[in-house]
A and B are shown apart, each in its own frame.
Chain A
Amino acid sequence: MYDIIIIGAGVIGALVARKLAAYELKVAILEKGNDVCSGSTMANSAIVHSGYDPVPGTLKAKFNVASNPRFEQICQELDVPFQRIGSLTVATEKEQLPQLEALTKRAQENGVPVRIISQEELRQIEPNITPSAIQALFAPTAGIVDPFLLTIHAVENAIDHGTELFLNEKVTQISKENGIYTLFTRKEHQYQAKVVINAAGVHSDDIARLVGDEYFTITPRKGEYFVLDHFKAGFVNHVIFPLPSKAGKGILITPTTAGNYLIGPSSQFVSEKERVTTDSITLNYVKENAQRLIPNIPFSQVIRTFSGLRATPIGEDFIIEESRQNPGFIHVAGIESPGLVASPAISDYVVDTLVMKRLPLIKRANYNPRIRPYTRLKNLSSEERDALIEKNPEYGQIICRCEQISAGEINEYLQRNCPPHSIKAVKKRTRAGFGKCQGGFCQIHVIHLLAKHYQIPVTKVNYDEEGSEVLIASSRGDQA
């Protein structure tokens, strides 16, 4: 029996869990995937928006603007890469200039500092910008973050304080009796709590329906991306946006906190919530649009394409409220852009305003909002590195050649709370497999590390979800 169950371990579920961990509450997270951060949070632009774009007065605007300044602190506490690089919304035609003006006004209404910069200044700070660029709206408070580590480390922080995480638990049925919710999962387990937080992403309307709430619908909206290798620092220095349209913020080009470049996303409503695919027509569309802003993008440096789904609500704003007919059942739904940047303020509101109505929030005495920082070999000096290897030789064994990740760094995650259970989970945490060769060299080593840690045969190591084993059998009569 729990005080609270959170359905969904994306960035919302993770930050809510972390916030709840500060109080004397018994909390469980149910995640349907084989890892946290497996849905929309795993596949997005990773941008900490400044907040000039959302319509003033909406929850999107309110929570975006409130959260943006907090990222230095949160990322420091949770050991998450974050860079406040600023964004540029670029006008390439005279007809777009009034729209830039309108965005400036909107920024002022939202309380976001922006300024219009001239062609010359734009060219100075972004040498590769299109020659057609006339002016740009510069938002200095925009930034980029690592959404995987934000989510994973927040969950670790919560688990450090007693939160329980249950993976591969898809909620299929919910019943209610005497103010207690019983959640039934596909694996035929049951979980009970007084308060349930529906942070199920694209499935949040499906979850809502399980308690009879039919008043909102989430339509998955797919975005496809290119990932470029970290081929050169400074190819692009800011998040580069086109002018926004009805379809959304548009196809952008941005550096990532790892030095890669992301190009995308497209925007199309789809009916399929599970299989997220890419196709050549859409990717070509993304390419052509991106080239309008940065004409010389070296597509020969593409190392990966991916797609993600946005949880788009019919009503265009976040749906963050207690269920109208189910007290204690709190929906945090429709968290599409700017959901990532807004997540700190969203989680505050969920706990301080909504949960508070239902449960006493007694501060936990020894609550620590920080996690122990992780070793990143690349950030160590030669002497530090050498001393570390002497204590633990695993840090000397480089597993991933492209990103230079050691066995020690992978094992560090395996030994702490919220460990990886699959090859992809290792990749999200350590970047092993993220580079040019896309796991060609390191995958076998990652498989062995996982097999050794979990004491399972290598043929049981999954690429991602359960049922995605890479090696299916030993090729002879010997044991796997």
Chain B
Amino acid sequence: MKHVDLVIVGGGSAGLAAAISAYDQGIKDILIIEKGPTLGGILNQCIHNGFGIETFNEQLTGPEYAERFIDEVDKRHIAYKLNTMVVSLNANKDLAYSNDCEGYQVIEAGALIMATGCYERSAGQIMLPGARLAGVMTAGQAQEYVNIDGYMVGRNVFILGSGDIGLIMARRMALEGANVLGVAEIMPYSNGLPRNIVQCLNDFDIPLFLSHTISNVYGRQRVEKITITEVDDQFNFIAGSEKDFVVDTLLLSVGLVPNNDLLMQAGAELSSTKGPIVDEKLETTIPGIFSCGNALHVHDIVDYVSDEGKLAGISAAQYLLNPHFENGAQIRVLPGNLIGYVVPQRIDINSNAEEIILKYRVKKPIEKARISVQIDGVEIKKAFRPFAIPSEMEMIKLRKQDLRAGSLLTVEVNSHE
């Protein structure tokens, strides 16, 4: 069996950053395996700007951001395969991939970084009522059809979900000449950046219906009409609040889910968010397999994806360069009051890392947020935010000296009125 020191599954923003950093740590035998025809992942279809403020102090478009990293990969002559799908993975880090030139190949990896991104929640997953018709698709799929393949998907569009993907596609469809009739959002607030509300909705007079969701979808072969209905704070339909829209397209922007079929196959432990359980080195429960990017947890800002990829690359390099290193005792990390999730879910108390970054999301919008990190109930770190919202991932940094022995670390938030 062919051996590769470090295999990186996924050549998007996380995988590219991981490859570069592992190389710079001294690992030369690296292979990136990418299912698409180019490197760059989802960035290729995110043609709008706003990427790279942290990393480059510029507002780049998705493809430009990707190209910066692809150039660095090429400079280092890091090997990659395109149009290649990894089809199986086991706990021994043997993986099989398939493409039309080499066929079905099995290789043995010294270490693996899973940067497999995420998939979009579909109509079926949200149990969209009505008939299953053409013209109903996810916002990301429409984005690919319009930006990469160059086709119009519809002329009269409605969008469910006011997260950034939905807002961006509202603008994109309007720019392409479609009639965008509205965006419905089940929560009483939008998940998207304020900037996107202005530049994607207000600029094009596209109405935003907060506390509304789709209650019916009509059509024969293609969607012809949708009904939206207002919901109360228990998300029950409010009778009499129905509004109909004549459309030929319904785009869904209703959430992203980490894609970890391969890790599941290999037997790694996954959390309820569908991302893997990792420690502060981003190592999964299978030694030598690391995770980063949207496959680990859904990100909002690509710069943080790149940082995470960088850390995974460093960790994988350390794993390869120090084969006798053993993990020490680990403390479990759990979300506390009003926290949706925390990554990493385990921390080595005796970690040599100068700093450990805890990443988390709050469960609901909180003003004057006081974040408390506790070990076995004793506060070891606190932080304040004027406001925290679920659509923005937050970070809190722990220094080595903040840690102490214990069995459970929790992150909780309260409104500090």
Instruction: Tell me whether A and B are bound partners.
Output: yes
Would you call B134 and A464 a contact (CB within 8 A)? yes
* Cβ of A447 to closest chain B Cβ, rounded Å: 9
Residues in A with CB closer than 8 Å to B151 are 458-459, 471-475, 480
Residues 123-176 (chain A) with a chain B CB within 8 angstroms: none
Cβ of A466 within 8 Å of any chain B Cβ, yes or no, is: yes
Residues in A with CB closer than 8 Å to B140 are 440
Q: Taking A464-B221, A474-B152, A478-B150 as contacts, is the C-beta distance between A302 and B127 under 8 angstroms?
A: yes
Most buried by A among B100, B216, B257: B100
Cβ of A3 within 8 Å of any chain B Cβ, yes or no, is: no
Choice from B35, B103, B105, B150 contacting A474 with Cβ under 8 Å: B150
* Cβ of B166 to closest chain A Cβ, rounded Å: 15
> Which of the four size classes fits the interface of chain A?
35 or more
Would you call B104 and A305 a contact (CB within 8 A)? no
Q: Taking A278-B127, A382-B104, A440-B119 as contacts, is the C-beta distance between A468 and B152 under 8 angstroms?
A: no
Would you call B119 and A470 a contact (CB within 8 A)? no
* Cβ of B274 to closest chain A Cβ, rounded Å: 9
Most buried by A among B98, B122, B135, B144: B98
Q: Taking A302-B124, A396-B99, A440-B141 as contacts, is the C-beta distance between A277 and B130 under 8 angstroms?
A: yes
Residues 9-54 (chain A) with a chain B CB within 8 angstroms: none
Binary flags per residue of A273-305, CB closer than 8 Å to B gives 1, else 0: 011111110010000000000000000001111
Complex CA distance for A389 and B133, rounded to whole angstroms: 35
Q: Taking A274-B220, A303-B125 as contacts, is the C-beta distance between A475 and B146 under 8 angstroms?
A: yes
Choice from A276, A438, A458 contacting B124 with Cβ under 8 Å: A438
Residues 153-170 (chain B) with a chain A CB within 8 angstroms: 153-155
Cβ of A394 within 8 Å of any chain B Cβ, yes or no, is: yes
Choice from A280, A389, A398, A468 contacting B85 with Cβ under 8 Å: A398
Cβ of A373 within 8 Å of any chain B Cβ, yes or no, is: no
Complex CA distance for A480 and B106, rounded to whole angstroms: 38
* Cβ of A359 to closest chain B Cβ, rounded Å: 37
**Chain B, residue nearest A441 (CB):** B119
Would you call B96 and A382 a contact (CB within 8 A)? yes
Complex CA distance for A393 and B99, rounded to whole angstroms: 8
Cβ of A104 within 8 Å of any chain B Cβ, yes or no, is: no
* Cβ of B165 to closest chain A Cβ, rounded Å: 12
* Cβ of B100 to closest chain A Cβ, rounded Å: 4
* Cβ of A222 to closest chain B Cβ, rounded Å: 12
Residues in A with CB closer than 8 Å to B127 are 226, 278, 280, 283, 302, 305
Stretch at the interface among A57-65, A75-83, A341-349, A401-409: A401-409
Complex CA distance for A382 and B87, rounded to whole angstroms: 11
Choice from A227, A385, A393 contacting B101 with Cβ under 8 Å: A393
Would you call A389 and B98 a contact (CB within 8 A)? yes
Would you call A437 and B222 a contact (CB within 8 A)? no
Residues 245-292 (chain B) with a chain A CB within 8 angstroms: 248, 257, 261
Residues 229-283 (chain A) with a chain B CB within 8 angstroms: 274-280, 283
Would you call A306 and B132 a contact (CB within 8 A)? yes
Number of A-B contacts (CB under 8 A): 149
Would you call B124 and A279 a contact (CB within 8 A)? no
Would you call B129 and A402 a contact (CB within 8 A)? no
**Chain A, residue nearest B85 (CB):** A398
* Cβ of A18 to closest chain B Cβ, rounded Å: 29
* Cβ of A163 to closest chain B Cβ, rounded Å: 27
Residues in B with CB closer than 8 Å to A397 are 83, 98-100
Binary flags per residue of B72-99, CB closer than 8 Å to A gives 1, else 0: 0000000000010101000000001011
Would you call B150 and A476 a contact (CB within 8 A)? yes
* Cβ of A127 to closest chain B Cβ, rounded Å: 20
Complex CA distance for A470 and B248, rounded to whole angstroms: 10
**Chain A, residue nearest B147 (CB):** A475
Cβ of A101 within 8 Å of any chain B Cβ, yes or no, is: no
Binary flags per residue of A459-471, CB closer than 8 Å to B gives 1, else 0: 1001111111111
Choice from B100, B144, B154, B155 contacting A444 with Cβ under 8 Å: B144
Would you call A472 and B99 a contact (CB within 8 A)? no
Cβ of A121 within 8 Å of any chain B Cβ, yes or no, is: no
* Cβ of B156 to closest chain A Cβ, rounded Å: 11
Residues in A with CB closer than 8 Å to B85 are 398, 401, 404
* Cβ of B132 to closest chain A Cβ, rounded Å: 7
Complex CA distance for A478 and B127, rounded to whole angstroms: 37
Residues in B with CB closer than 8 Å to A390 are 103
Would you call A276 and B125 a contact (CB within 8 A)? no
Residues in B with CB closer than 8 Å to A401 are 35, 85, 261
Complex CA distance for A344 and B70, rounded to whole angstroms: 59
Cβ of B204 within 8 Å of any chain A Cβ, yes or no, is: no
Residues in A with CB closer than 8 Å to B133 are 463, 468
Would you call A396 and B150 a contact (CB within 8 A)? no
Would you call A440 and B120 a contact (CB within 8 A)? yes
Residues in B with CB closer than 8 Å to A478 are 150
Cβ of A120 within 8 Å of any chain B Cβ, yes or no, is: no
Residues 373-398 (chain A) with a chain B CB within 8 angstroms: 382, 385-386, 389-390, 393-394, 396-398
Would you call A277 and B103 a contact (CB within 8 A)? no
Cβ of B372 within 8 Å of any chain A Cβ, yes or no, is: no
Would you call A302 and B98 a contact (CB within 8 A)? no
**Chain B, residue nearest A305 (CB):** B127
* Cβ of B260 to closest chain A Cβ, rounded Å: 11
Q: Taking A441-B119, A443-B141, A474-B152 as contacts, is the C-beta distance between A467 and B222 under 8 angstroms?
A: yes
Cβ of B402 within 8 Å of any chain A Cβ, yes or no, is: no
Would you call A444 and B119 a contact (CB within 8 A)? no
Residues in B with CB closer than 8 Å to A468 are 133-135, 221-222
Cβ of A436 within 8 Å of any chain B Cβ, yes or no, is: yes
Complex CA distance for A468 and B176, rounded to whole angstroms: 21
A-B contact pairs, 5 of them (CB 8 A): A302-B124, A303-B124, A396-B103, A402-B261, A468-B222
Q: Which residues of A contact B (CB under 8 A)?
A: 226-227, 274-280, 283, 302-306, 382, 385-386, 389-390, 393-394, 396-398, 401-402, 404, 406, 436-441, 443-444, 458-459, 462-476, 478, 480
Q: Which residues of B contact A (CB under 8 A)?
A: 35, 83, 85, 87, 96, 98-106, 119-120, 122-125, 127-135, 137-138, 140-141, 144-146, 149-155, 176, 216, 218-222, 248, 257, 261
